[in-house]
Structure 1
Amino acid sequence: MDDIKIGIVIPAHNEAMTITKCLASVQAAIEQLPSTITASVLVVLDSCRDDTLELVESVDVDYLCCDYQCVGQVRDLGIRHAIASGATWLACTDADSVVTPDWLIQQIAHVKDQPTDMICGVVSIDSWAHLTLQTREDYMAHYQDRMGHHHIHGANLSFSAEAYLAVDGFAPLECHEDADLVKRFESKGYAITWSNRVRVITSSRLQARTAKGFAAFLANLETNN
């Protein structure tokens, strides 16, 4: 485990408002790693028309540009590039999310404690201020913030390079590419850890980047209240 090479892949589509905080949090998590473990960051900019690229360049982070407008293709492009660059463990988050300082340390701890091929982490909401109390209550009633949960978030998903390639990676789906990948890991019998120790804080914005993503889920709760 000490020779693990972590590849952190972040898709971004017009995320100038959030990408700087995201990358700063990822860097803070990398700094918690022991010197025996290396980690690299790759942002995959998909059809960005704002200042996301300039902000990524300003912090000297590796990036790729594409025009897929398909999150499944974007994630797969980044993951395969990271694997080709030597990554053996992949950690995914999103440009509108902030990872906790122990995000990577907790992943490593899980793999050391009980070898696993994939870790599905949890998300916390960054702010409830603009949402109704009923939306918050409905969300909390639905969400299981505990070990053994069965929530799936592309913003907090990690896995081994070997297993990823064996299941043919993220499918070219515009949404639910994360759930599809988990399903194929399960169908092949790979070990999956459902952890609330691996955590990110994600945006509570209601302007969805994909039609059926997390923002759309929150927006639907809000609309129905």
Structure 2
Amino acid sequence: MTTGHDMAHIGVVVPAHNEEQHLPDCLQALIRAADHARSRGHEVTLVVVLDSCRDRSATIAAEYGIKTVSVAAGNVGMARHTGVLALPEGIDWLAFTDADTCVPEHWLSAQCGAGTDAVCGGVYLSQWQSLPPALRARYLAHQRQNIRREHVHGANLGISMVAYQALSGFRPLRCHEDVDLIERLKAGKGSITWAHSLRVMTSARCQARAPEGLGALLHTLECACQDTSSFSAQKA
């Protein structure tokens, strides 16, 4: 569908639901990535989608000069798509991350340089060392079991506007909206770069914002650790 994105206009969409704790770091990282991309000839527009926010997320975005759009969806698929619709005309490339995530400086430039319809990157967990050892072990075991799978993370995803429009965008799904989008792209023979080394730093919180997302996985693994500890204590 696409062959390259030299001198692209990049639209960056960040859904947020009561993210005042993480949003400043997220926006600072995005601004650095935007400046890096602009230094290489790209144009960048950032938008934060405030989904049912009741905290200071809107104020924080305004303090950084970032455009916002508000929805009351409670639905990450709808929030991401609303962000796309809020972008100006002429966008060539769409980049998606989450409000509890920090992207590397070269994130946008690397996505546009891939030359494919979509780019799916990886994630690191922040506060890794502060997680209980049992939880870290279970998370690593889970990752090893899925090491050959092609991972899709909404916190680290890029797609050309041409491909996105051909797919009619994100579906209004409360979870796995990112996987659904890429599966439809694959079914249409779109080209994908699996950029495992292009990683973002995302929150290791176990209080899930999206059902069946990373936070939900960590919560499940945390509960398994607690169940094992309780069983061991009973046996003792």
Give the TM-score of the pair, scaled to structure 1.
Answer: 0.92
Counterpart selection for 2:74 from 63, 69, 72 = 69
The CA distance in 1 between the partners of 2:105 and 2:41, in whole Å, is: 18
The CA distance in 2 between the partners of 1:81 and 1:148, in whole Å, is: 36
Note if 1:90 corresponds to 2:122: no
Query: Is the Cα–Cα contact under 8 Å of residues 148 and 193 in structure 1 kept in the other structure?
Result: no
Query: Gapped runs of 5+ residues in structure 1?
Result: none
Query: Is the Cα–Cα contact under 8 Å of residues 69 and 86 in structure 2 kept in the other structure?
Result: no
**What letter is aligned with 1:103?**
W
- Listed as ranges, the matches of 1:150-161 within 5 Å are 150-161=150-161
- Listed as ranges, the matches of 1:94-173 within 5 Å are 94-111=98-115, 116-143=116-143, 150-173=150-173
Q: Describe the superposition over 1:174-205 as per-residue Cα deviations: whole angstroms up to 9, x where unpaired.
A: 11111111111111110011112322100001
The CA distance in 1 between the partners of 2:111 and 2:164, in whole Å, is: 16
Query: Is the Cα–Cα contact under 8 Å of residues 6 and 112 in structure 2 kept in the other structure?
Result: no
Query: Gapped runs of 5+ residues in structure 2?
Result: 226-236
Larger radius of gyration between Structure 1 and Structure 2? 2
Note if 1:28 corresponds to 2:32: yes
Shift of 1:149: 5.5
**What letter is aligned with 2:189?**
G
- Aligned-residue CA RMSD (Å): 1.6
The CA distance in 2 between the partners of 1:109 and 1:2, in whole Å, is: 8
**What letter is aligned with 2:15?**
P
Shift of 1:130: 4.3
Shift of 1:16: 0.4
Q: Describe the superposition over 1:45-79 as per-residue Cα deviations: whole angstroms up to 9, x where unpaired.
A: 00000010011111111110111111110101112
Note if 1:43 corresponds to 2:48: yes
Shift of 1:32: 1.4
Query: Is the Cα–Cα contact under 8 Å of residues 148 and 194 in structure 1 kept in the other structure?
Result: no
Query: Is the Cα–Cα contact under 8 Å of residues 15 and 79 in structure 2 kept in the other structure?
Result: yes
**Secondary structure at 1:3's aligned position in 2?**
coil
The CA distance in 2 between the partners of 1:2 and 1:130, in whole Å, is: 41
Query: Is the Cα–Cα contact under 8 Å of residues 6 and 113 in structure 2 kept in the other structure?
Result: no
The CA distance in 1 between the partners of 2:106 and 2:216, in whole Å, is: 28
**Secondary structure at 1:100's aligned position in 2?**
coil
The CA distance in 2 between the partners of 1:204 and 1:108, in whole Å, is: 28
> What is residue 12 of structure 2 aligned with on the other side?
8
**What letter is aligned with 1:136?**
R
**What letter is aligned with 1:81?**
A
Q: Describe the superposition over 1:122-174 as per-residue Cα deviations: whole angstroms up to 9, x where unpaired.
A: 00000124432122122223336xx9851111000100000001111100011
Give the TM-score of the pair, scaled to structure 2.
Answer: 0.88
The CA distance in 1 between the partners of 2:92 and 2:204, in whole Å, is: 32
Identity of aligned residues (%): 39
Shift of 1:209: 1.0
